[in-house]
Amino acid sequence: MKNEILLLDEKSVNDFWRLRIELFQELEEVSKDADCTQLESATKQYYVSHINKDLISWGVFQEGQLAATGSLCLFTRIPYNENLSGLEGYILNIYTSKQFRGNGFANQILDNMIEYSYKNNIKRLWLNSSEQGKHLYMKKGFLQKNNEMELFL
């Protein structure tokens, strides 16, 4: 059964935060007893400032709460042969709460992201995937690339 995938807005900031911290805890990026007040404040401020501008987020509500979400951060880079518009989207935090898994929510959210990208001339989508998510992305045609590097300052 398909559930309605909704575009989230600033009113969803608390639900967005709840699922984001749940994801971080599941990936052991944040412990359950960690003080995340600064991260929460920064995340909510970012979300409210960017939602439906250069941050597009989708969600599925079940039993009155946000059950699954996913976001697309939009940006433009210098054009190159494969992407003359330079428009790109970074996919992050496609996540379903444990009690709602197995309903295809992540797949539906990803389909919405891809459709949105086609309609808005976004030529490249990319992401970093957890091991659990790799099969979903590969099934949609994403290719693994191992040449990216990063530096935290």
The predicted structure's pLDDT at residue 3: 77
Q: Which residue has the higher pLDDT, 80 or 3?
A: 80
Query: pLDDT band for position 2 (50/70/90)?
Result: low
**What pLDDT digit, counting tens, does each position of 112-134 carry?**
999 999 999 999 999 998 888 89
For the chain, the DSSP string reads -PPPPEE--GGGHHHHHHHHHHHHHHTTSS-TTS--HHHHHHHHHHHHHHBTTTEEEEEEEETTEEEEEEEEEEEE---BTTBTT-EEEEEEEEEE-GGGTTSSHHHHHHHHHHHHHHHTT--EEEE---TTTHHHHHHTT------------
The answer, yes or no, to whether residue 1 has pLDDT greater than 80, is no
Summary mean pLDDT of the chain: 94
Q: CB neighbours of 50 closer than 8 A, spacing ≥ 6?
A: none
